[in-house]
Amino acid sequence: MSRRTRPLQYLDANNNVIPYEVAQDSIRLSYEGGSDVRYYATARPNETQESNRDYENKSFWRIYRLTYDATRNVTQKDWVNGSNDNEFSWDDSLNLISISAVTQANPGVVTLSTDTWPDGTAVANGDKVEILSAAGMTELNGNFYYVSGWNAGLMTFNLHVGNDKNSDDNENENTSGYGAYTGSGIAYKRSYANHTYN
């Protein structure tokens, strides 16, 4: 028998709360390529099981972002929307679009196969995406970029780097010296990278 609170609590047969230890958490981790930002998520045991999932709201992860300095010390910890409740989604595999081309240019320009994410939202400037499985131009793989200069007609965007969504020519990814793109590749709009942190 259990009841859902934040965080999830479990009750024994006498309705006493079963003690919780952080070591029991389910943990997920992602990082922005070679950058100094990492995302972490925790959930109570069984909170992530199919029977307990709230598919409409996907509210069962406690997510935070750590920023590191050059010596790998944590300089900042931010919670999603300033909350440490188990109420946010970590949807890291479903919202993706295939890549059909990437230019060797400054900035590098990515062409997508469609202008709409699988969740029904349109691709837009400021979306944060992770590039994976790009053949040839492997330098992009595993890195996060902001969509910048989105052209819905051509389904193209500039690869924008940096710590904000603002377009800045000095922060665009220069791919002119990268290997030539030869095919495949996926752009993932990771939910944890697109939350608002403070």
Given a cut of 90, whether residue 54 has pLDDT beyond it is no
Torsion 83-86-92-95 (CA) sign: negative
Q: For position 5, what pLDDT does the model report?
A: 37
Other beta carbons less than 10 A from residue 168's beta carbon: 11
Kindly report the CA angle at 143 between 139 and 148, in degrees rounded to 5? 100
> Which of 7-21, 99-113, 170-184 has the lowest average pLDDT?
7-21
Q: For position 192, what pLDDT does the model report?
A: 80
Q: For position 139, what pLDDT does the model report?
A: 94
Give per-residue pLDDT as tens, 29-48: 665 555 677 888 776 555 44
CA distances from 136 to 5, 35, 46, 175, 180 (A): 48, 22, 41, 12, 5
Class of domain 96-190 as given by CATH: mainly beta
Given a cut of 60, whether residue 189 has pLDDT beyond it is yes
Intervals of CATH 2.40.30.180 along the chain? 96-190
Other beta carbons less than 10 A from residue 13's beta carbon: 6
Regarding predicted confidence, which is higher, 194 or 128?
A: 128
- C-alpha 183/C-alpha 39 separation (Å) is 29
Q: For position 194, what pLDDT does the model report?
A: 82
Regarding predicted confidence, which is higher, 164 or 52?
A: 164
Query: Once rounded to an integer, what is the mean pLDDT over residues 54-82?
Result: 74
